[in-house]
Amino acid sequence: MEGLNELAFVLGGVNHWITVFLIMAGLYIIVSRSNMIKKLVGLSIFQTSVYLLYVSPGKIIGGTAPIIIANAPDQMYSNPLPHVLILTAIVVGVATLALGLALVVRINEAYGSIEEDEVYSGEDWN
């Protein structure tokens, strides 16, 4: 029984495990890569974890879209709010990514490199 409980813990929270994995993977890429585009990829993965975190608890197995149906008023439905929130978060993510890439293009034009250590170390910041 003990082992079964542990299995249920691991499998039941699979969405959370994936969320945690995405958070860590995203942050690791941001920290470890010096290439600015790769950093933005990491940032996107990091943001993706949020989408999963919000959307997965909103889903009810067997639930339908949250629309009142005349002859079945007690129909079980999934919570629509997380989807709306995440739609907004996705738009925010797209905007961030687009702005980030635009900045990288400008950095490349100004510095001739998108490697962070080359851009930052070759510059007098004072």
Applying CB under 8 A, the residues found at the interface with other proteins are: 23, 27, 30, 36, 39-40, 43, 46-47, 49-50, 53-54, 57, 65, 67, 81-82, 85, 87-89, 91-92, 95-96, 98-107, 110-111, 119-120, 123, 125-126
Nearer to other proteins, 76 or 102 (CB): 102
Nearer to other proteins, 1 or 56 (CB): 56
| Beta bridge mates, 102 | none
Ramachandran area for residue 62 (φ above 0: left; ψ -120 to 50: alpha; else beta): left
DSSP state at residue 123: S
Q: If we measure between CA atoms, which residue out of 59, 48, 53, 55 comes closest to residue 16?
A: 53
Q: How far apart are the two ends of the chain, measured CA to CA in Å? A: 64
Separation of alpha carbons 103 and 95, rounded Å? 12
Dihedral angle over CA of 44, 45, 46, 48, nearest 10? 90
Nearer to other proteins, 2 or 123 (CB): 123
Q: How far is the CB of 85 from other proteins (least distance, A)?
A: 5
Q: How far is the CB of 86 from other proteins (least distance, A)?
A: 9
Nearer to other proteins, 10 or 95 (CB): 95
